[in-house]
Amino acid sequence: MSTSLRAFFKPQTIAVIGASAVKGKIGNVVFEVLRSKFKGKVIPVNPKYRELMGVECYPSVKDIPEDVDMAVIVVPAPAVIDVVKDCVDKGVKAIIIISAGFSEIGPEGAERERKLIEIIKGTGTRIIGPNCLGVYDAYSGVDTWFLPEDRMARPPRGHIAIISQSGALAAAMLDWAARMGVGIAKAISIGNKADVDEADLMEYLVEDPDVRVIAIYLEGLKPGSGQRFLEVARKVVKRKPVIVLKAGKTEKGTKAVASHTGSLAGSYQVYAAAFKQVGIIEADSVLDLFDMARAFATQPIPKGRRVAVVTDGGGMGVMATDALESLGLLLPETPEDVKQRLRQKLVPFAALGNPIDVTGNVEDEHYVAAFEEVLKSEAFDMVMGIFLMQPPLLTEKLPEKLVQVFRRFRNKPVVAVTFGGSELTLKLIKVLEENGIPVYEIPERAAKALWALAYYGEVRQKLLEE
Amino acid sequence: MSTSLRAFFKPQTIAVIGASAVKGKIGNVVFEVLRSKFKGKVIPVNPKYRELMGVECYPSVKDIPEDVDMAVIVVPAPAVIDVVKDCVDKGVKAIIIISAGFSEIGPEGAERERKLIEIIKGTGTRIIGPNCLGVYDAYSGVDTWFLPEDRMARPPRGHIAIISQSGALAAAMLDWAARMGVGIAKAISIGNKADVDEADLMEYLVEDPDVRVIAIYLEGLKPGSGQRFLEVARKVVKRKPVIVLKAGKTEKGTKAVASHTGSLAGSYQVYAAAFKQVGIIEADSVLDLFDMARAFATQPIPKGRRVAVVTDGGGMGVMATDALESLGLLLPETPEDVKQRLRQKLVPFAALGNPIDVTGNVEDEHYVAAFEEVLKSEAFDMVMGIFLMQPPLLTEKLPEKLVQVFRRFRNKPVVAVTFGGSELTLKLIKVLEENGIPVYEIPERAAKALWALAYYGEVRQKLLEE
């Protein structure tokens, strides 16, 4: 089943139908972006040209002499039906329809969309869209997003897959991820989801070795698709975490959904209960979605809920404690033998309970000693390190020293918190992130990320036992 | 009463007692920072030197021939008592004791702290600290924080005052504010608050024309000081908003507070109820504190709870709607006449209800038209503008055009949301922030800021009517 989507992500040859020579036009941007990033062959289709930017151009996809795996369609809506027919005749497996003017504009468009489905029925050809941005694959270079790099920067390769019902939001997410250095594996803007929907994509992505976590922006499921969505999700969650950001939670929000994607959002309470039942994790906001996804993309799943907090700021330690306890995570007291060893290594007024407060007199080696102890200790399943980089004795070597320690204990999740803005803070963020330790601005967000890891561990266990 | 603190913020002459020539020592950093930033006179005191960095140095504060308004003490704890006696004899009005080794270390230190209070009793001399970083005043240049600029950058001048029981956290906050361009008027690290406490500072700050909002990080009030704190807060809130970030909310968090500042935090529920009673706004995190403070520092207080949302991303509009409605804010339907005019000016598929969705086909002028209408309309008290800057027709001129419109309607609060990372996004953030429009990453945080403005307006009204 899921292999039917392979051509969307790993095609050999892509036809851009409606490719244009006019700078700024969608058909121009899509062709140019694909040409510069996709490793396979990109062929322009447009009866107006015999050649486009030095590449032979064909009047129809049917005129292309070689096999075509994927077609990206950017022609106006009324012309799309015939083009899709041509694609099916040609044996194209994956069609992305970027063009708008379908069910989102009313009955006329809905009829057009219905026809599309009829055409592909039983053919093995699948459609993403219409009214979407399509597929971004950081590994294969498939990138059908008609936004040039200066508007939407492309993020580094990573292990997060994004499925979004809103193209604008997904574009903003990629642009944001690029600036923050957050690694993305794939992003799919699914538009009206006439054919391919969230469930289909989850089935594909669960098999994708580049993907460690699936993050979904959802306004509403299509009528009749809820059952399959949940069945697929339950299977997927046994192997990979799924995070959903559901918009349209309130009465007014539900109304806003109807005027945006036309989804019948239905009662949020029903969604929330169903998500919980199949082990889907809900995000509260776009940032919350990324906070949790970043942890899943880089950290192992913990064995339990016991967190050790190491901090050089007592206040941040208190806030971390409040946040962790509110989320139902545990902060066991530091074991006596660990305390004893730390007493030799830290400053006299360091607090050795949990949080371990290395204080403002902290030196690099104190942090190193504290992390070695808590990472080694059987008393803790996860570690939160809080680093206020203002104390005078901390050096610019701390980040590398931390990475050395964290590397030796890769079986335990570690997340970091830092709040500041000077050189030392920025270097800490950069080095830790580059070495796979997610860094958060405040302990509340780091705590939520740890909670997600622990919660998923428990949910997966429960699903596997059922 | 409150004038007794004036010398902490607007002194003519400051003595640094324990000033040092040894690079990196606290007495050295404090002296150097003050010398480079404070506009008045800075005089070193240390029996070891006759001269320090070209400035005459005195063995005791009593040997200084001229009047001294403020003394910053960095000598070891056992020597502090005698130094404070000298200051009182000299007629120093404001003493900041940075030195640690007082009540935070146990009975011996507590006894030392008790003596300090005895010495200043009835003299008119006031003490901030001990065990603190002291005062940062962006306007007068008083800056007793012993952290050089490369560890803790100094933020631009603004209208937020910070009072913090945690020095480390306050330092991180200033460093963060500097990087984010968040304007700060004053920050006071109050340490053990042997004498000057939150109530004293609120009384002073409410009279300070540079301060529009008071933000407090609090672990616990001193025994017996609760009543006065609330009485003062109630008076202050009638004139300026007070935001409190209370740490130690959970059982474990309360325990962590005890091991950090030694405060008996008491039941958080009691605090929360008391805050509510006097109109104090509670923050959930350091970011939440700044989110609300930034709105108070730049925006007027709205007349009511009715919000207009203008967005080019439908998904973001839905999330804004959910967030606003969850907070009890109102999203009235756009009035018919406004809709009619917008129908002429926006793209055909723009949604004209509330949120107004200018869609991904937005051009600069569409945003301008929409904001002119909602700012002018009697139907809305506040405006949230959401700007995803990926759409192809938006130009780099949008930020300046927005500022032009916002300037004409300064009586209505406006907050902005943008999520992204490319040049256009970064320029939008910069231009709006420089022109006093707070920008947030996600609609949930912008909604919270609007909620704070509306809630404060209502609370103030109620307190004034009592």
Distance CA A134, CA B456 (A): 45
Residues of chain A short of pLDDT 50, as ranges, are 1-2
Distance of CA B325 to the CA centre of its chain: 27
H or E element at residue B308: strand B307-311
- Cβ contact (<8 Å) for B168 and A313? yes
> Which chain A positions have a beta carbon within 8 Å of B332's beta carbon?
none
Grouping H, G, I as helix, E, B as strand and the rest as coil, residue A194 is coil
CB contacts, 8 Å: A310 with chain B: none
The DSSP code for A288 is H
Residue numbers in A near B395 (CB within 8 A): none
> Which is nearest to B447 in space by CA: B311, B249, B245?
B311
| CB pair distance less than 8 Å for B325 and A357 | no
8 Å CB contact between B81 and B119: yes
* Beta-carbon separation of B175 and A349 below 8 A: no
Mean of the per-residue pLDDT values of chain B: 95
Q: How many CB atoms lie within 10 A of CB B426?
A: 14
Let me know if B328 is exposed, middle or buried by CB neighbors in 10 A (0-12, 13-18, 19+): exposed
Contact yes or no for B175 and A392 at CB 8 A: no
- Which residue of chain B comes nearest to A317, CA vs CA? B256
A419 → chain B, closest CA residue: B172
> Of B168, B249, B390, which has the smallest distance from its Cβ to A388's Cβ?
B168
Name beta bridge partners: A440.
Answer: A417
A29 contacts in B (CB within 8 Å)? Answer: 392
| Contact at CB, B172 and A422, closer than 8 angstroms | no
Residue B262 predicted with pLDDT over 80: no
Contact B75, B17 (CB under 8 A): yes
Summarize pLDDT for B134-149 with one digit per residue, the tens. Answer: 999 999 999 999 998 8
pLDDT of residue B445: 98
Is A447:A324 a contact under the CB 8 Å cutoff? yes
The terminus-to-terminus CA distance of chain A in angstroms comes to 24
Nearest to B219 among A164, A165, A318 (CB): A318
| Number of other residues whose CB lies within 10 A of the CB of residue A82 | 12
Q: Strand A356-357 relative to strand B382-386: parallel, antiparallel, unpaired?
A: unpaired
Q: Which residue of A has its CA nearest to B260?
A: A314
pLDDT of residue B372: 98
Separation CA B173–CA B177 (nearest Å):
6
A420 with B316: Cβ contact below 8 A = no
On the question of pLDDT at B127 being above 50, the answer is yes
pLDDT at A1: 43
Q: In 3D, which of B54, B53, B47, B87 has the Cα closest to residue B68?
A: B87
Per-residue model confidence as pLDDT tens digits over B371-428: 999 999 999 999 999 999 999 899 999 999 999 999 999 999 999 999 999 999 999 9
Record: contact A422-B179, CB cut-off 8 A: yes
- B316: nearest CA in chain A? A169
Structure tokens at B443: 């609609």
The contacts found for A82-89 with CB under 8 angstroms, 24 or more apart, are A83/A17, A84/A116, A84/A119, A84/A120, A84/A127, A85/A119, A86/A60, A86/A61, A86/A62, A87/A17, A87/A61, A87/A125, A88/A119, A88/A120, A88/A123, A88/A125, A89/A62
Nearest to A247 among B286, B322, B360 (CB): B322
Q: How many C-alpha atoms does B222 have within 13 Å on its Cβ side? A: 14
Which residues from chain A sit within 8 angstroms of residue B219, using beta carbons?
315, 318
Residue B108 banded pLDDT, cuts 50, 70, 90: very high
According to the model, what pLDDT value does residue A3 have?
53
- Asked if the Cβ–Cβ distance from A392 to B147 is below 8 Å, we say yes
Distances (CA, A) of B129 to A436, B3, B72, B110: 40, 19, 10, 13
What is the rounded distance in angstroms from the CA atom of residue B371 to the CA atom of residue B364?
A: 11
Nearest CA to A14 out of A82, A94, A97, A86 is that of A94
Under 8 Å between Cβ of B215 and B294: no
pLDDT of residue B3: 53
Name chain B contacts of A154, Cβ cutoff 8 Å: none
List, for residues B163-201, the tens digit of each pLDDT value. 999 999 999 999 999 999 999 999 999 999 999 999 999
Chain A residues in contact with B389 by the CB 8 A cut-off are 151, 175
Euclidean distance between CA atoms B190 and B213, whole angstroms:
18
Q: How far is B364 from chain A (nearest CA, A)?
A: 15
Bridge-based pairing state of the strands B134-137 and B184-189: antiparallel
DSSP string, A350-362: -B-SSSEE--TT-
User: Which of chain A's residues have a Cβ under 8 Å away from the Cβ of B152?
Assistant: 390, 420, 422
**Residue B2: what pLDDT?**
45
Residues of B in contact with A317 (CB under 8 A): 256, 260
Distance CA B38, CA B14 (A): 9
* B322 → closest Cβ in A105, A250, A286: A250
- Give the mutation candidate from A74, A250, A319, A333 for the B interface (greatest B CB count, under 10 A): A319
> Which residues in B lie closer than 8 A to residue A259 (C-beta atoms)?
314, 351, 353, 357
Q: For residue A215, which residues of chain B lie inside 8 Å, CB to CB?
A: none
Q: Please tell me the distance from the alpha carbon of residue A399 to that of residue B205, in angstroms, as a whole number.
A: 39
Asked if residues B382 and B392 have their Cβ atoms less than 8 Å apart, the reply is no
Beta-carbon separation of A147 and B388 below 8 A: no
Chain B residues in contact with A219 (beta carbon < 8 A): 315, 318
pTM of the model: 0.96
Answer whether B316's CB lies under 8 Å from A287's CB: no
Which among B151, B261, B441 has CB closest to A392?
A: B151
Chain B closest-CA separation from residue A260 CA (Å): 5
Judging contacts by C-beta atoms under 8 Å, the chain B residues touching residue A147 are 390, 392
ω into A107 cis (within 30 of 0):
no
Which residue shows structure tokens 């603004």?
B158
Residue A319 to residue B285, Cβ atoms within 8 A? yes
Q: Quick check: A168 and B316 CB within 8 A?
A: yes
ipTM for the whole complex: 0.96
Q: Which residues have C-beta within 8 Å of that of residue A99, sequence separation ≥ 6? A: A18, A73, A74, A75, A76, A77, A80, A129, A130, A131
Q: What is the pLDDT of residue B265?
A: 59
pLDDT at res. B1:
43
Is residue A11 classed as helix, strand or coil in its secondary structure? coil
- State which residue of chain A sits closest to B166, comparing Cα positions: A315
Residue from the list B172, B313, B421 with its beta carbon closest to the beta carbon of A166: B313
At residue A4, the pLDDT reads 84
The dihedral formed by the CA atoms of B442, B446, B448 and B449, expressed in degrees to the nearest 10: 150
Question: Binning pLDDT at 50, 70 and 90, where does residue B466 land?
Answer: confident
Give the distance from residue B424's alpha carbon to the nearest chain A alpha carbon, in angstroms: 7
Pick among A74, A329, A390, A440 to test the B interface (most B CBs inside 10 A): A390
